[in-house]
Amino acid sequence: AQSVAQPEDQVNVAEGNPLTVKCTYSVSGNPYLFWYVQYPNRGLQFLLKYITGDNLVKGSYGFEAEFNKSQTSFHLKKPSALVSDSALYFCAVRDRYESSASKIIFGSGTRLSIRP
């Protein structure tokens, strides 16, 4: 069965330090991979996606994610965290080849807390 795992419910980082939010997936073949962010009282905002090509994907607000096929991971990273990055982050996948590959499968979410 297809699944996405975000092993950490919460990640705490000091402002200015690098941050990593982990994501691993279990999907056959080469899926499309996404990160979304949900700020308090807001909807899901698209951050970045991996389709093909360069394994390092750059997205909004200085975030980037690295696709690692051998480890089936797609960790989200940022070199220097801001307090405003505090939010709920969702990793997600979509099957590339399934005929009705419309659905996105989400992880359970990781709450990122950046302390000043």
72 vs 106 by CB, closer to another protein: 106
Part of the chain binding another protein (CB under 8 A), chosen from 14-22, 40-48, 67-75, 77-85:
40-48
Buried b (16+ CB within 10 A) or exposed e, 80-116: ebeeebbbbbbbbbbbeeeeeeeeebebebbebebee
9 vs 116 by CB, closer to another protein: 9
Q: Under rule CB under 8 A, which residues in 53-82 are in contact with another protein?
A: none
Question: Residue 116 is which amino acid?
Answer: P
As a three-state string, the secondary structure of 37-51 is: EECCCCCEEEEEEEC
* Number of residues lying near another protein (CB under 8 A): 25
Q: Using the rule CB under 8 A, which residue among 36, 63, 67, 74 binds another protein?
A: 36
Q: Using the rule CB under 8 A, which residue among 28, 46, 55, 83 binds another protein?
A: 46
DSSP assignment letter at 90: E
Number of Cβ within 10 Å of residue 64's Cβ equals 16
Positions that interact with another protein (CB under 8 A): 4, 32, 34, 36, 42-46, 49-51, 90, 94, 96, 100-109
